[in-house]
Amino acid sequence: MSVNVKLPTLLRKLAGGESRVEARGETVEQVLADLEARYPGLTQRVRADDGGLSRYVNVYVGEDDARLLGGLAAPVPEGGTVSIIPAVAGG
């Protein structure tokens, strides 16, 4: 199943400068695994040391936070969009 992935500027150099790439997978975990296979090193900043999602990166499936949909197990619909967005903090 093919999905679109929006990449933040910081990850684009690992994907040949592309802001959007195509990936395959039915869950966020499968999509990230496919991205890693195609673009080695790309998911290092997305995954935490324990293998889960990094707290410094937000991953959305469509308009919904993947963490609220099941984290790595969150389903990704055919033709859907996964957005990887660095977390922003400030005060």
CA distance 29 to 91: 32
Summarised one tens digit per residue, pLDDT across range 3-48 is 999 999 999 999 999 999 999 999 999 999 999 999 999 998 899 9
Per-residue pLDDT, 76:
97
For the chain, the domain total comes to 1
Q: Which pLDDT band, with edges at 50, 70 and 90, does 1 fall under?
A: confident
As a whole number of angstroms, the distance between CA 78 and CA 85 comes to 21
| Contact (CB, 8 A) for 53 and 13 | no
- Residue 23: give the domain boundaries: 2-86
Separation of alpha carbons 82 and 63, rounded Å: 9
3-state secondary structure of 40: coil
49 located within any domain: yes
Residue 91 forms part of a structural domain: no
- Residue 15 and residue 37 in contact, taking contact as beta carbons nearer than 8 Å: no
